[in-house]
A and B are shown apart, each in its own frame.
Chain A
């Protein structure tokens, strides 16, 4: 009897929990759904009423905004700039951090521990403090306002976390494995490419995805270091914010395009991404 009561109570409690979580889930989806539906409506419709009116008059929906966006040279250029910034940054961060991570984990050189502690300390340095000095430096080097400049800045500020993550992962490798490879007379380079990189694949994948999304989504760095020819999508859209409301037919589909790539990457590689973010906590 009592047990039955408990089951009923637990069932009821579970029902409440389910209902609560469903509501939370809906609340979480609403903003994104709102953006997507807004991106399919004309500016005139948006001026007249909210995106939820499409449920009563679905005739408003069309892909016109998206085809207009395709024809918008500035936005298409910005999209490619985003790719040209995020892909090289990701590759460079992974390569440089893997090299350094291996050296910090398994090679002997003077000051190894001390330098690595500095890298750990650099994990939390805010990018803001680098903006001004690096802008001056890039100005002298002719990198200011160029894609390579944006990439270099991102690489530098991505490195502490990347080196930290990979060094720790590589350090877990069994010592015997490396010693056996060295006994066989493999050069360090060979060991690195043939042994360390394959073993480190899970960590490298997490890092690459995390880094890619981070740079893809960045606005602050590009806002300063990119000029109008090299600006990524975030900056191009940002410059339209001032007329918010009147140009929602550009902003909403633009924002949606900018978030489709990371969201697809997220769903395709969710496990790696979650691991990357988790490893990156306290960054």
Chain B
């Protein structure tokens, strides 16, 4: 800038006529140059620079814009629970998302170099960058649905849970009063009278939904008729209900079904000493029990309400859930940018380290990461700037009632200014806060540019 000023201040004196012509050409040149930049500068001035100044000014006035309130809006920002929540959530976003993304991008960029289909993989991961936040929001609203029959994430969570914890087979089943089974406080059932090896019991339940009855279930009648061998405690668990009517309560009728896959325990002195699972006809048997009196128990896990998965979009998890959607969109960006940096690394440094017997992890820690530091910084800074301004995803993914738990600065600014809040003083202050937050990035950009021009 100084250079130009000096140049302009001291025109080289030449012969009179040439000087005038030179000056005229230069003036004409300047006019042309101004014509070239004018449209862009007009729009930038009117729609970017002026609004920034206007917003700064407006932020010192009250909601209606008539009364000067000084820093009141900025103080209000830290008093109002909703804006405080927004500041807190934006902080979470800024602390968590860029670091996660840079780390994930780095790991994937390093790993993908080792496979032959690297390009296809990069394309696949980068593609979400082309998808609008709105579409991504709808995609993840769908994926995060609380109902495991709709949301794929909860479907996965439930099947994982059930694989480890087992399903509760008969959530609605119960025993009729006075039919030999007593319910305990924890929801389990046990025989009302004690039994001992050599005896057979029939345990009738009702209230099983047709859908819950496995297709493999067989009638319990034949098994119920079987006598117990000596030293054996046996019995059937059956559905005490004859389809289409008839049948006698508390008795295994011919057409009544056994209840398969029911967990059964033999309990002695309050402790389960043996456990088994019923067969297709509902029968079970315990062998090798010591003599004495036992109770047969159907543990509560048979009747537990089914696991419903995780409330992704509930008040506590909504922000992490939206950050997850954000990762889906931006990981490819981080990976591709870091990958480009990786490709530019000096090969000989890596080779030399390999020759010296360094393992992959050491090379990664000691050579790759330090050499990549400038690229990692650029990726990180870019992400921080973008994360601060996140709007659409939060606006779309957080369901109405949870909106206030998920709110961030950009959505709050929207709500306060246009979405019913109608406080343009506070809204402007929030806009200015957003601007203040990106000023370090602004300085970083200007510095980097000036350095590159030297």
B39–A234 CB distance below 8 A: no
A255–B47 CB distance below 8 A: no
B121–A156 CB distance below 8 A: no
Q: How far is the CB of A83 from chain B (nearest CB, A)?
A: 14
Cα distance, A225 to B26, chains bound together (Å): 42
Most buried by A among B34, B44, B115: B44
Residues of B within 8 A of A20 (CB): 111
Q: How far is the CB of B425 from chain A (nearest CB, A)?
A: 10
B115–A17 CB distance below 8 A: yes
**Which stretch (B78-86, B163-171, B246-254, B428-436) binds chain A?**
B428-436
Other-chain residue from B30, B139, B430 in contact with A32 (beta carbon distance below 8 A): B139
Q: How far is the CB of B39 from chain A (nearest CB, A)?
A: 5
B48–A125 CB distance below 8 A: yes
Given the known A-B contacts A107-B32, A107-B36, A281-B337, are A129 and B449 also in contact in the complex, defined by CB atoms under 8 Å? no
Task: Using CB atoms, name the residue of chain A closest to B336.
Answer: A274
Cα distance, A193 to B439, chains bound together (Å): 37
Other-chain residue from B26, B134, B337, B392 in contact with A108 (beta carbon distance below 8 A): B26
Digitize A105-123: 1 where CB-to-B-CB distance is under 8 Å, 0 elsewhere. Answer: 0011110111101111111
Residues of A within 8 A of B389 (CB): 126-128
Most buried by B among A124, A127, A157, A245: A124
Residues of B within 8 A of A115 (CB): 37, 41
Cα distance, A118 to B442, chains bound together (Å): 10
A157–B47 CB distance below 8 A: yes
**Which stretch (B200-208, B234-242, B377-385) binds chain A?**
B377-385
Other-chain residue from B41, B328, B446 in contact with A31 (beta carbon distance below 8 A): B328
Given the known A-B contacts A17-B114, A129-B52, are A124 and B441 also in contact in the complex, defined by CB atoms under 8 Å? yes
Most buried by B among A118, A119, A132: A132
Q: How far is the CB of A43 from chain B (nearest CB, A)?
A: 12
Digitize B414-454: 1 where CB-to-A-CB distance is under 8 Å, 0 elsewhere. Answer: 10011000001001101110110010011011101110000
B155–A258 CB distance below 8 A: no
Cα distance, A48 to B211, chains bound together (Å): 14
B29–A99 CB distance below 8 A: no
Cα distance, A188 to B124, chains bound together (Å): 44
Task: Using CB atoms, name the residue of chain B closest to A248.
Answer: B142
A24–B108 CB distance below 8 A: yes
B446–A121 CB distance below 8 A: yes
Residues of A within 8 A of B125 (CB): 24-25, 28
B138–A252 CB distance below 8 A: yes
* Residue B259 lies at the interface, judged by CB distance under 8 Å to chain A: no
Task: Using CB atoms, name the residue of chain A closest to B31.
Answer: A109
Residues of A within 8 A of B40 (CB): 96-97, 99-100, 159, 163
A52–B155 CB distance below 8 A: yes
Given the known A-B contacts A115-B41, A133-B51, are A121 and B152 also in contact in the complex, defined by CB atoms under 8 Å? no
B431–A131 CB distance below 8 A: yes
A99–B37 CB distance below 8 A: yes
Residues of A within 8 A of B136 (CB): 31
Cα distance, A30 to B324, chains bound together (Å): 14
Other-chain residue from A119, A156, A241, A258 in contact with B132 (beta carbon distance below 8 A): A258
Given the known A-B contacts A104-B37, A234-B134, are A50 and B449 also in contact in the complex, defined by CB atoms under 8 Å? no
Cα distance, A137 to B431, chains bound together (Å): 17
Residues of B within 8 A of A159 (CB): 40, 43-44, 48
**Contact residues of A between 230 and 281, Cβ < 8 Å to B:** 234, 237-238, 241-242, 244-245, 248, 251-252, 255-256, 258-259, 262-263, 265-267, 270, 273-274, 277-278, 281
* Residue A199 lies at the interface, judged by CB distance under 8 Å to chain B: no
Cα distance, A103 to B35, chains bound together (Å): 9
**Contact residues of B between 385 and 426, Cβ < 8 Å to A:** 385, 388-389, 391-392, 395-396, 399-400, 410, 413-414, 417-418, 424
B48–A132 CB distance below 8 A: no
Cα distance, A134 to B150, chains bound together (Å): 42
**Contact residues of B between 103 and 156, Cβ < 8 Å to A:** 108, 111-112, 114-115, 121, 123-143, 145, 148-152, 155
* Residue A38 lies at the interface, judged by CB distance under 8 Å to chain B: yes
* Residue B1 lies at the interface, judged by CB distance under 8 Å to chain A: yes
* Residue B54 lies at the interface, judged by CB distance under 8 Å to chain A: yes
B32–A110 CB distance below 8 A: no
* Residue A152 lies at the interface, judged by CB distance under 8 Å to chain B: yes
A113–B444 CB distance below 8 A: no
**Which stretch (A54-62, A63-71, A173-181, A212-220) binds chain B?**
A212-220
Cα distance, A29 to B410, chains bound together (Å): 29
B139–A109 CB distance below 8 A: no
Cα distance, A125 to B47, chains bound together (Å): 12
A241–B396 CB distance below 8 A: yes
Cα distance, A148 to B265, chains bound together (Å): 75
Residues of B within 8 A of A128 (CB): 389, 391, 410, 413-414, 430-431, 434
Digitize B1-16: 1 where CB-to-A-CB distance is under 8 Å, 0 elsewhere. Answer: 1001000100000000
Q: How far is the CB of B146 from chain A (nearest CB, A)?
A: 10
* Residue B189 lies at the interface, judged by CB distance under 8 Å to chain A: no
Task: Using CB atoms, name the residue of chain A closest to B379.
Answer: A281
Residues of B within 8 A of A110 (CB): 4, 8, 30
* Residue A34 lies at the interface, judged by CB distance under 8 Å to chain B: yes
Residues of A within 8 A of B435 (CB): 125-126, 129
A21–B58 CB distance below 8 A: no
Interface positions of B (Cβ within 8 A of A): 1, 4, 8, 26, 29-30, 32-34, 36-37, 39-41, 43-44, 46-52, 54-55, 58, 108, 111-112, 114-115, 121, 123-143, 145, 148-152, 155, 328, 331, 333, 336-337, 340, 360, 378-379, 381-382, 385, 388-389, 391-392, 395-396, 399-400, 410, 413-414, 417-418, 424, 427-428, 430-432, 434-435, 438, 441-442, 444-446, 448-450
User: Can you list 6 A-B contacts (CB < 8 A)?
Assistant: A35-B142, A107-B29, A117-B450, A131-B414, A132-B55, A134-B51
Given A132-B417, A134-B51, A281-B378, 20 further pairs, Cβ under 8 A = A25-B125, A28-B125, A28-B328, A35-B135, A50-B151, A96-B40, A113-B1, A113-B4, A115-B37, A125-B52, A156-B44, A157-B48, A192-B36, A217-B134, A219-B392, A244-B399, A255-B138, A274-B126, A282-B382, A282-B385
The 3 closest A-B pairs by CB, nearest first: A217-B132, A156-B47, A107-B33
